[in-house]
Amino acid sequence: MTTLRQELERRTRDYEHWMKRRHYGPDGPNNRRLWVLACMDERLPVDEALGIHVDSPAGGGDAHCFRNAGGIVTDDAIRSAMLTCNFFGTKEIVIVQHTQCGMLSAHARALEQALRDRGVDIDHLTLDPTLPELRLEPGAFAKWIGMMDDVDQTLMRTVEVFRNHPLIPDDVTVSGWIWEVENRRLRAPRTDDARKACADVTSEQFGVTEPQPPRWR
């Protein structure tokens, strides 16, 4: 029979290792050796969607979680995935996008023009003042925003980018999933237009009639 003292000693040891994980590099991975890329939308509950403990107030240590607008490929998403997969013991990437996404709700050119109207010179931007070498070519700003035509198509392309990226080891498992905000369920991406019509996953459903800049084609 295990005594309470033994249980407390084990829990103390386990917590100290959890607290100092980054000291151990690949030998101190998160609980599931997992990196999650998800949209920043507050209606996408990562813990509920994936059945893990990472994004709740209490946390839990199941994964490294990176969130951005759309849950799409960006240079900083690649940077974070590269670090966790090569140096922190991560062996799996899960990407979660969702229906009703704000990245479907407007055309990138309209957002670009709105910034121009506010006096922003988007053709001569320093994206990161600490890394002035990181620049966009003139005319690339609308593409950089990353607005979507179709969440399912964007997710499948995002998965392929991570599967084939030279900074992500070949033995890392990569998958992508759609969270349906309307009915709080997770599903695999699909191409069947009739089945997708039950949830808002295309920009056309938001009244956007022109294709977005060709980042995702």
Total structural domains within the chain: 2
Check whether 194 has a pLDDT greater than 90: no
Q: Are residues 85 and 15 in the same domain?
A: no
Residues 85 and 155 in one domain: yes
**Is a pLDDT exceeding 70 seen at residue 36?**
yes
Side by side, which strands form the sheet with 185-187? 64-68, 34-39, 92-98, 173-180, 185-187
Same domain? For 70 and 20 the reply is no
**In this structure, are 83 and 2 located in the same domain?**
no
Residue range of the domain that includes 12: 1-28
Which residue, 140, 46, 21, 44, is CA-closest to 100? 44
- Examine the domain organization and report whether 2 and 80 are in the same domain: no
Q: In the chain, what percentage of residues exceed pLDDT 90?
A: 82
Clarify whether residues 94 and 193 are in a common domain: yes
101, 19: one domain: no
Other CB atoms within 10 Å distance of the CB of residue 144: 17
On whether residue 180 sits in a domain, the answer given is yes
CB 99 within 8 A of CB 201: yes
Q: Is residue 194 part of a domain?
A: yes
Claim to verify: residue 1 and residue 99 sit in the same structural domain: no
In a domain, 22, yes or no: yes
Where do we find the tokens 């009739």?
A: 194
Same domain membership, residue 189 and residue 151: yes
* Residue 188 structure tokens: 């695999």
Across all residues in the chain, what is the average pLDDT? 93
Quick one: 97 and 1 in the same domain? no
User: Residue 59 has what pLDDT?
Assistant: 66
Residue 130 located in a structural domain: no
Q: Is residue 63 part of a domain?
A: yes
In a domain, 114, yes or no: no
Read off the pLDDT of residues 105-138 as tens digits, 9 standing for 90 and up: 999 999 999 999 999 999 988 999 999 999 888 8
Do 7 and 101 lie in a common domain? no
Q: pLDDT value at position 191?
A: 86
**pLDDT for residue 178 is more than 80:** yes
